[in-house]
């Protein structure tokens, strides 16, 4: 177990850090449908060194839970063991991968259609602009009116071009990220064992 050792001897620190802090919940309460966090406490040992315990927040000041204080080392071991039991099955991963591929193909198709739609609208604007300019040449519309319409067209074009810039056709990076996550969850135990405290 590695814990923050910033505390100077004799100093009382009320806030203790542990990588499992915030991730543990009381199992005794969970049976009753109550969700309570486990918090950590340090007790100085008689012969130097510290003992660290996790305990249910409901156990503080008789708030209703009587679950025991649990040695932090034992908890760490239990959590490691737990990771052996929560792997995704190969079948589940295969199904997820298929669903992911389908979803990506569908999203890419939708994005392609949207891009086409935006490009068509931009073309319409070009036509409108050309028509306006020939109206201006003919003197068929007052100058002020033409200017105001041209400004509208420019505003609309800027909007469409900004939208067009957001269209993402290549989703392979996102796909790769999700596939990597799936692969890691094939063996969460190995992942957890290999991870640093951070």
Residues of this chain that interact with Zn ion (CB under 5 A) are 26, 28-29, 36, 56, 58, 65, 67
CB-wise, 55 or 160, nearer to Zn ion? Answer: 55
CB-wise, 71 or 111, nearer to Zn ion? Answer: 71
Do 16 and 42 touch, CB atoms closer than 8 A?
Answer: yes
Do 39 and 24 touch, CB atoms closer than 8 A?
Answer: no
What is the rounded end-to-end Cα distance, in angstroms, of the chain? 13
CB-wise, 31 or 140, nearer to Zn ion? Answer: 31
Strands 50-56 and 70-71, how do they pair? antiparallel
CB of 22 to Zn ion, least distance (A): 15
CB-wise, 28 or 128, nearer to Zn ion? Answer: 28
CB of 30 to Zn ion, least distance (A): 8
CB of 54 to Zn ion, least distance (A): 11
CB of 61 to Zn ion, least distance (A): 13
Beta bridge partners of 70: 54
Q: State the Cα–Cα distance between residues 79 and 71, nearest whole angstrom.
A: 13
Widest distance between CA atoms in the chain: 101
Do 52 and 71 touch, CB atoms closer than 8 A?
Answer: yes
Smallest CA-to-CA distance from 37 within 20, 17, 14 is with 20
CB-wise, 69 or 186, nearer to Zn ion? Answer: 69
CA 105, 111, 117, 123: dihedral to nearest 10 degrees? -120
């Amino acid at each position: 177990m590695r814990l923050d050792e910033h505390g100077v001897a004799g100093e009382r620190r009320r806030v203790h850090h542990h990588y499992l802090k915030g991730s543990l919940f009381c199992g005794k309460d969970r049976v009753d449908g109550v969700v309570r966090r486990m918090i950590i406490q340090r007790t100085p040992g008689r012969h130097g060194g510290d003992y660290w315990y996790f305990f249910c927040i409901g156990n503080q000041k008789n708030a209703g839970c009587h679950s025991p204080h649990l040695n932090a080392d034992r908890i760490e071991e239990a959590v490691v063991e737990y990771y052996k039991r929560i792997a995704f099955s190969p079948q589940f991963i295969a199904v997820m991968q298929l669903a992911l591929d389908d979803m990506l193909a569908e999203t890419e198709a939708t994005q392609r259609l949207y891009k086409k739609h935006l490009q068509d609208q931009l073309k319409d604007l070009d036509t409108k602009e050309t028509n306006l300019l020939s109206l201006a040449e003919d003197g068929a519309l007052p100058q002020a009116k033409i200017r105001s319409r041209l400004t509208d067209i420019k505003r609309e074009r800027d909007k469409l071009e900004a939208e067009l810039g957001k269209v993402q056709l290549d989703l392979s990076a996102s796909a790769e990220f999700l596939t990597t996550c799936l692969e890691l969850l094939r063996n969460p135990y190995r992942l957890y064992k290999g991870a640093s405290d951070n």
